[in-house]
Structure 1
Amino acid sequence: MSRPTTGNFTKTPGWLDWYGAPTPPRFKVPPGSVDAHCHVFGPGWKFPYAPERKYTPCDATKEQLFKLRDRLGFERNVIVQATCHGADNSALVDALKTSGGKARGVATVKRAVTDQQLQELHDAGVRGVRFNFVKRLVDFTPKDELMEIASRIAPLGWHVVIYFEAEDLPELWDFFTSLPATVVVDHMGRPNVSKPVDGPEFDLFLKFMRENENVWSKVSCPERLSLTGPRALDGERDAYRDVVPFARKVVETFPDRVLWGTDWPHPNLKDHMPDDGLLVDFIPHIAPTSELQKKLLVDNPTRLYWPELAPGAASAGA
């Protein structure tokens, strides 16, 4: 079914729409699990898409996101500001405020943002800002502006989410390691999974995490990285198997600094739209023990986004 874009917007030609009836996952996520990377788009009639956007999606509303959360068995969401909304965080804030405390957010802000606006975002549930270095998605923002923003959000206890591609890590290394906050990398820095998991490119990413204990990683979006694709063999739900060694390496090496998310509604995919139930069934392949699964899905995102709910929070504040 083709999904609409409202508000006199026209979807980017060839846009793949998300579908609303994913297969029920076989893997049951542990109680308290968090989908730590997802988005809301519009609806365009209420929250217009940014004039400077590089794509126009179909609408994907908060109600549809929360329905998916419940269907997959998650308890909470972390909603990341979508580039199609630019630095207008209105749709994100609206979703956070109506989530009943079950959502936190990662915003996009510009240098002109005021301290009062930052505090209002914090009160709504924002806990981080996103810096996007993928050139096909956003225009370049000067690093001095990003560093100024990072310094201003540090007193709020926010973190910085960085989105880049593996080949650009050497150029960005010095900037990333100078950020005065916890740093969360989207999708393992988008490794080229046709290269060896023990090769120099991915080893550089592991070194980046190993040498910088403030760096976390999302082990999400196998559908963006895979060359083998979503097919399953012998009836097993083992899609995106070529991404497994990379994600599992990160989970097992840095079990206390990893997050996972659906990336719903999966913007800018070109060849297929993933089944979110199948993505959930990817989790036990990369986090094979119940201990690793709980850290990935419950303990780590709770500690980062809901520290007041983390074990020991009450005693630590006493």
Structure 2
Amino acid sequence: MSASDPGPDHAGWDTHVHVFDAAAPVRPGHYRPAHHPLADAERAAAAAGCTRLVLVQPSVYGSDNGVMLQALEASAGRHRGVAVVDPAVDDATLDRLHAAGVRGIRFNLVSPAGHAGDPGPALAALAPRLRARGWHVQWYAPAERLPDLLRWQAGSGLVFVLDHLAGLHAGLAADDPAWSAAEALAAGGAWIKLSGWYRLRAAPPYDALRPAIRRAAALFGERTLWGSDWPHTAFAPGSAPDPSLLLSPLRTALGDDALDAVRRRHPRPLYLDEPSPP
């Protein structure tokens, strides 16, 4: 094992990054990304102390996972991925994705280029094949949709991962029903990504999110993850936040020891081991 690869026990993980090829076709009605290849993602992650990445399929590419798949195959097993797939996807495609490092699929209920309508039927159609491969389901959903996720989690027998603090934004009341749904999701085995601060009605240095971060970390325990959301598509080129600014809310809310566990120890069961069903 080389010094540049400290291994799964000690490597820092950034569990939410995207890669883009400016030449790849995109779905209409959203943004057109700049060129952000894997090498740039790895450099950004290294600046935040991370050597392993989870590449998340961007909504602008729909179910064409080609850009992400190419990056994963080039990484020779170092990184993991979360794909977007059509319910009619064939097993050979799923197997290739798995061999490259994909360990889950994503439903995006926020983006205008994401999943329109009710994703329940698609989830039900895919669930048996996801379970057979030990894959999880990642959700980018607003807080008001958490009760729906709770119902789908109970019916699917799959591990759920909630993007961007599960949408539990800075303006959400402490007694909002979304918090009860989040607690029930956590009790059912769901994971949460402490990420996307600028998507949660908070301004730098994101102090307004500290109570929500502490509460979510207490609910989800060792099923908490950190992700940078690089390359920060919500920002104009050249104006993306510094990695230290994105880590600061976690450090101040949870402390250095907890932050270290979130980035180094917690990701392993989800991305390297075979996760247990909820």
- Please, which of 207, 220, 232 is the counterpart of residue 195 of structure 2? 220
What secondary structure, in the 3-state scheme, does the structure 1 residue paired with 2:53 have?
A: strand
Tell me the C-alpha RMSD between the 2 structures.
Answer: 2.2
- Specify the code of the residue in structure 1 equivalent to 2:212: F
The verdict on how the C-alpha distance between 1:206 and 1:139 changes in structure 2, with shifts beyond 3 A counting, is closer
Q: TM-score, normalised by structure 2?
A: 0.87
> Contact 2:209 / 2:249 at 8 angstroms: preserved in 1?
no
> Contact 1:41 / 1:91 at 8 angstroms: preserved in 2?
yes
- Please, which of 233, 240, 251 is the counterpart of residue 273 of structure 1? 240
The equivalent of 1:147 in structure 2 is: 124
The verdict on how the C-alpha distance between 1:175 and 1:74 changes in structure 2, with shifts beyond 3 A counting, is same
Give the Cα separation in 1 of the matches to 2:228 and 2:115: 25
1:183-202 paired onto structure 2 within 5 Å: 183-196=160-173, 198-202=174-178
In the alignment, does 2:55 pair up with 1:88? no
What secondary structure, in the 3-state scheme, does the structure 2 residue paired with 1:280 have?
A: helix
The verdict on how the C-alpha distance between 1:295 and 1:72 changes in structure 2, with shifts beyond 3 A counting, is closer
More helix by share: 2
- Specify the code of the residue in structure 2 equivalent to 1:264: W
Structure 1: runs of 5 or more not aligned: 1-29, 231-238, 311-318
In the alignment, does 2:259 pair up with 1:306? no
The CA deviation at 1:78 is 0.5
> Contact 2:146 / 2:182 at 8 angstroms: preserved in 1?
no
How many residue pairs align between the two structures? 264
The equivalent of 1:73 in structure 2 is: 49
The CA deviation at 1:249 is 1.3
> Contact 1:185 / 1:218 at 8 angstroms: preserved in 2?
yes
Q: TM-score, normalised by structure 1?
A: 0.76
What do the CA deviations read for 1:112-140 (whole angstroms, capped 9, x no partner)?
21111100000011000001122534241
Of 141-150 and 111-120, deviating more is: 141-150
The CA deviation at 1:199 is 1.8
In the alignment, does 2:258 pair up with 1:297? no
Identity of aligned residues (%): 31
The verdict on how the C-alpha distance between 1:215 and 1:33 changes in structure 2, with shifts beyond 3 A counting, is same
The equivalent of 1:36 in structure 2 is: 15
1:51-200 paired onto structure 2 within 5 Å: 51-52=27-28, 54-134=30-110, 136-140=112-116, 142-196=119-173, 198-200=174-176
The CA deviation at 1:95 is 1.1
Give the Cα separation in 2 of the matches to 1:49 and 1:93: 15
The equivalent of 2:3 in structure 1 is: none
- Please, which of 239, 255, 275 is the counterpart of residue 288 of structure 1? 255
The verdict on how the C-alpha distance between 1:69 and 1:91 changes in structure 2, with shifts beyond 3 A counting, is same
The verdict on how the C-alpha distance between 1:195 and 1:117 changes in structure 2, with shifts beyond 3 A counting, is closer
The CA deviation at 1:54 is 2.4
The verdict on how the C-alpha distance between 1:172 and 1:255 changes in structure 2, with shifts beyond 3 A counting, is closer
